[in-house]
Structure 1
Amino acid sequence: MPAGPAPRIQVTGRARAGKTTVRHALSLISAEETSAVDDPGRPDPVLDADLLIYVLPGASNATDRRILATLPPDRTLVVLNKADAIGLRWADAAAAAENHSAALQLTVHPVIATLAARTRSGTVTDADLRTLHRHRDHPDPAFTLAPDLFTAPAIATDTADRQRLLARWPLYGISCALIALRHAPTLPAVTLLQILHSASGIDPLHTDLHHRYEQAATRLGT
């Protein structure tokens, strides 16, 4: 029996929610990225794909809730992107995702798409490791709370190295890497990359997406 057509995937959400970054983090090269659902003066995008990925940039607003109320739960995944900006710990982002899921009656995954995309396409270089090791025992962990704190000249003389590190990795990833190296200074680069990938939260989303994709393919083949 010939195989059916491949399921269509659409990635949607508000402007600047991180739709492109989420698509890259999931390696969804063929997925369709829609126009923003909050584009003034334009009609809502037609969301008729076999799988729908809706990207929330933190808290939902009235537009998100209006659109999501129209989407079929069995074909919709919600990505709570920029989870590193929610609270102070990953547990805060996980709790926010659970609250969103209960309110929306949809599956919601907390994700740091910028970190996930970097771990899929990049490597932890020797220069990255040297800079991280120089600061793994910094007496004030709060210096990773904001980019200007992390790159402040008063911290050390390697300002340019810290700026280059921040250009390559999001601050949350740097914070996770410093904690990991503080506990295990001999971690190799490949293991550190795996830790950062896990810290992005992308794997549970990818697993769920794969499961939904198989279900959609079965529906199309019947």
Structure 2
Amino acid sequence: MPVGRSVRIQVTGRARAGKTTLRHALSLLTAEETRPVDHPGQPAPTLDADLLLYILPGTFAPADRRLLGTLPPERTLVVLNKADTIGTRWPDAAARAEQLATDLGIMVFPVVASVAACTRNGTFTDADVLTLRRHHTRPDPPLTLSHELFTAPDLAPDPEARQAVLDHWELHGVSCALAALRHDPALGPRALLQILHSATGIDALHRELHHRYELLTTTAGG
């Protein structure tokens, strides 16, 4: 990287992979978001930034493999987004990320960017916590296997409150919060927010991104 120039970061991937959401989850508002790499009738975007974040939407396609094979591992990080849709537990997503990392020779991070963005920009309200406490003793799964099960009108006389919690924190966030309350029903809004943030996987990605950013800055300055 030329001396004196700011570190360039590009966020790329297939359509609907969650590029914009990840930028907000990481506060990378100045990063360049490319057009989708699978845009019909158009060539793949030019990926020439100092740091590249390649977003996978929970799945890995042949087009991803072809393009990732052309990118230098030392300046590329792969984000396995929508990790809550992989398998039935977080270890399933972590195992898939590890398998991809070995296969590609590039670091891969399982992340739930949509919930991470929520934890960065929001907080649990007292109403959220009260609603979750009302239902924390119910079996999960099946309570959070689907939006329909969690908001079912015949479950309890508070479907609107349950829908509001779901709107705020999505199904993965609700499931993690309920699990935390089963362990400690006295948890308050701040503690729940911290637990939920950790459960998104965003911190490990942020640390590695920051580490590489610092290395590039040091090299350019030297």
Would the aligned equivalents of 2:19 and 2:55 in 1 still touch at CA under 8 Å?
A: yes
Would the aligned equivalents of 1:109 and 1:204 in 2 still touch at CA under 8 Å?
A: yes
Structure 2: distance between partners of 1:16 and 1:141? 27
How far residue 218 of structure 1 moved from its aligned partner, in angstroms, is 2.6
| Contiguous gaps of at least 5 residues in structure 2 | none
Structure 2: distance between partners of 1:153 and 1:137? 18
Structure 1: distance between partners of 2:146 and 2:70? 38
Aligned residue number for residue 202 of structure 1: 202
How far residue 184 of structure 1 moved from its aligned partner, in angstroms, is 0.6
Aligned amino acid, residue 30 of structure 2: S
Alignment of 1:16-165 (within 5 A): 16-139=16-139, 141-165=141-165
How far residue 104 of structure 1 moved from its aligned partner, in angstroms, is 0.9
Structure 1: distance between partners of 2:127 and 2:99? 40
Aligned amino acid, residue 173 of structure 1: G
How far residue 140 of structure 1 moved from its aligned partner, in angstroms, is 5.4
Structure 2: distance between partners of 1:190 and 1:59? 33
* Number of residue equivalences: 220
Aligned amino acid, residue 124 of structure 1: F
Would the aligned equivalents of 1:5 and 1:221 in 2 still touch at CA under 8 Å?
A: no
CA offset digits 1:74-129 (Å, max 9, x no partner): 10000000000000111000000001101111000000001110000000001100
Asked if 1:187 corresponds to 2:192, the answer is no
| Contiguous gaps of at least 5 residues in structure 1 | none
Structure 1: distance between partners of 2:58 and 2:133? 32
How far residue 219 of structure 1 moved from its aligned partner, in angstroms, is 3.1
Aligned amino acid, residue 125 of structure 1: T
Would the aligned equivalents of 1:57 and 1:80 in 2 still touch at CA under 8 Å?
A: yes
Structure 1: distance between partners of 2:156 and 2:123? 25
Aligned amino acid, residue 50 of structure 1: D
CA offset digits 1:150-205 (Å, max 9, x no partner): 11111111011111111111101101101111111111110110000000000000
TM, length-normalised to structure 1: 0.96
Aligned residue number for residue 13 of structure 1: 13
Structure 2: distance between partners of 1:46 and 1:219? 24
Aligned amino acid, residue 184 of structure 1: D
Q: Indicate the RMSD between aligned Cα atoms, in angstroms.
A: 1.1
Aligned amino acid, residue 153 of structure 2: P
Aligned residue number for residue 170 of structure 2: 170
TM, length-normalised to structure 2: 0.96
Percent identity between matched residues is 62
Structure 1: distance between partners of 2:50 and 2:72? 10
Structure 2: distance between partners of 1:173 and 1:133? 14
Would the aligned equivalents of 1:7 and 1:220 in 2 still touch at CA under 8 Å?
A: no
How far residue 60 of structure 1 moved from its aligned partner, in angstroms, is 1.1
